[in-house]
A and B are shown apart, each in its own frame.
Chain A
Amino acid sequence: MVGRFPPSALVLGGLALALILVFMLLPLGVVVAASLTAGQFLTFPPQGLSFRWYGDVLASEAYLSSAWTSLKVATLVTIAATVIGTAAAIGLSRRRLPGRALLAGVFLSPLVLPSIIFGIGLLIVFSIWGNGPSLLALALGHTVLTMPYVVRTVAAVLADADPAIEEAARTMGAGPVDRLRFVVLPQAKGGILAGAFFAFNVSFDEAVIALFLRTPGVETLPMRIYGQLEFSPTPAVAAVSTLMILMTILVVVAIERSLGLRKVAT
């Protein structure tokens, strides 16, 4: 493989790749480093090494309640988006469904519509017709936002599945429910898992809709960080951010295990 590339391309390319990687990882690395400071202020490079700010975060009522809010929302969202999205992806994978190309486009549209517009729309709707923003309102918004990820990963897996297997199950006497249970859901398993991890991650990290639907009672972790950043961030913010980066790494590993990053990414 490598023999196909001239030395100049390998050197230039290697250099460029290294620079790009530094560029991509720089902001994350700076956050992690700053969180380990022993000093009072947010600096880079950190002054001394300690985990004291992590202790601060874990003892902080405000951070813990935000984390709990984020976790509640993300869990609700993951369940709803995975169930609804999986069903939709299976339905969309059926050739006999009329207008499925158009429907698939509709199902993926929340991925590309600016969330600022969606966020203000939700705020207006819940203020006019409901009692204003709430945890459930935020969960509803996030479900819309994350469902397309589930639809996409499940549909990708089903597109690769051998349709003869379901036909074979039919000839062996399996009705619609048995086929879903014994053929389609096992076939879709990897996609369902990857989609669920995606949904959890997106909901846990999401900031724009959460910002619009923020009320004193419903402040997610990204919202609390955002609030701190508007004023004067302390190393504690870096510590929380590092914990969020760690969680993202876990999710990425889980997605790689369940379906493979390459498949999900492209």
Chain B
Amino acid sequence: MPGAKGGQGLVEPIVLVTPGIALLFGAFLFPVGQILVLSVVPSGEELGAWSNFARFFADDYYLRVAWRTFRLSLLITAATALIGFPLAYAMARAPRWLAFLLLLLTVLPLMTSVVVRTFGWMMVLGRGGPVTDLLMLFGLSARSAVLLQTETGIVVAMVQVLLPFMVLTTLGVIAGIHPHLEEAARTMGAGFYRTLRHVVLPLSLPGLVSGSLLVFAISMSSFITPNLIGGVRLPVMASAIYQQAIHTLDWGFAAAQSTLLLIAVLGLLVPYLALMRRARV
């Protein structure tokens, strides 16, 4: 008899997941697969199958774009991890009202449209914005200094955009650390900071690592924020792909770059998903 619980067995769950699977295959896996096909198929008669990839690796411009994307993503990830860990720890251990407030103030920006948040950063970082004023106040910058269209500006804005991902991933792990472990360490003579260093941090590591993988993957492929803050002077991979797809209409080349980006991101997301599964289920 099929099915461990008798009765309708397999029919019900299969019927229930079928529409979703159909949607994912038709409207998700098929378009993504299409990119892979298009990236290999030659765009012109005279070109070979891998010409789009060859063009990418031969062109100094695109290599520089890829390197910038990678470098900025690394900086963004490090910064979110540094800020995110104490914030997640505070959320897990603070009294209820404070924890809720912190959660609210993490989730609210996360759920606000990226376009709106980026707009805010354009004003903050731009001419006459509060950051420029502050830098001037401390004599750190001349009048004309704006962070708009700088790499620093991209990093600052992206850290704010992606911090919630880091915090929530890490919080999931820290919330699972029983407070008794810290209390036990304290009774054994470890101070607060040493307890953090020797008990909480090692146990939070899976959360920090998976949060970092997630943040890195997202920032590698981010488009709206780096494009608006960095402008045409500082393109990242996503903006280059957008250029090819919408303005140059060179889909083959856009697809090839997408494929490279996809490979890089999947290389990060597979370990991320594995870590999350081990941490939760």
Which single member of A117, A123, A176 contacts B12 (CB below 8 Å)?
A176
Name which of A2, A16, A31 has the most chain B CB atoms within 10 A of its CB. A31
Q: Which residue on chain B has the smallest CB distance to residue A238?
A: B119
Let me know if B102 and A17 touch, CB within 8 A: yes
Name which of A28, A143, A249 has the most chain B CB atoms within 10 A of its CB. A28
Let me know if A94 and B86 touch, CB within 8 A: no
Q: Which residues of B contact A226 (CB under 8 A)?
A: 115, 224, 228
Let me know if B24 and A120 touch, CB within 8 A: no
* Contact surface of A with B, Cβ cutoff 8 Å: 1-2, 4-6, 9, 13, 16-17, 20-21, 23-31, 34, 42-44, 83-85, 87-88, 90-92, 94-98, 101, 103, 105-107, 109-110, 112-118, 120-125, 128, 140-141, 143-144, 147, 151, 170, 176, 201, 204-208, 211-212, 222, 225-226, 229-230, 233, 237-238, 241, 244-245, 248-249, 251-252, 261-262, 265-266
Annotate B124-138 by CB proximity to A: 1 below 8 A, 0 otherwise.
Answer: 100011100000000
Which single member of B20, B221, B258 contacts A147 (CB below 8 Å)?
B20
Let me know if A91 and B160 touch, CB within 8 A: no
Chain B interface bracket (under 10, 10 to 19, 20 to 34, 35 or more): 35 or more
Let me know if B123 and A31 touch, CB within 8 A: yes
Q: Which residue on chain A has the smallest CB distance to residue B272?
A: A112
B57 within 8 Å of A (CB atoms): no
Interface pick from B29-37, B44-52, B60-68, B198-206: B29-37
Let me know if A244 and B116 touch, CB within 8 A: yes
Let me know if A117 and B246 touch, CB within 8 A: no
Given A94-B12, A207-B113, A266-B175: A123 in contact with B245 (beta carbons within 8 A): yes
Q: List residues of B (1-33) whose CB comes within 8 Å of A's CBs.
A: 3-5, 7-10, 12-17, 19-21, 23-24, 27-28, 30-33
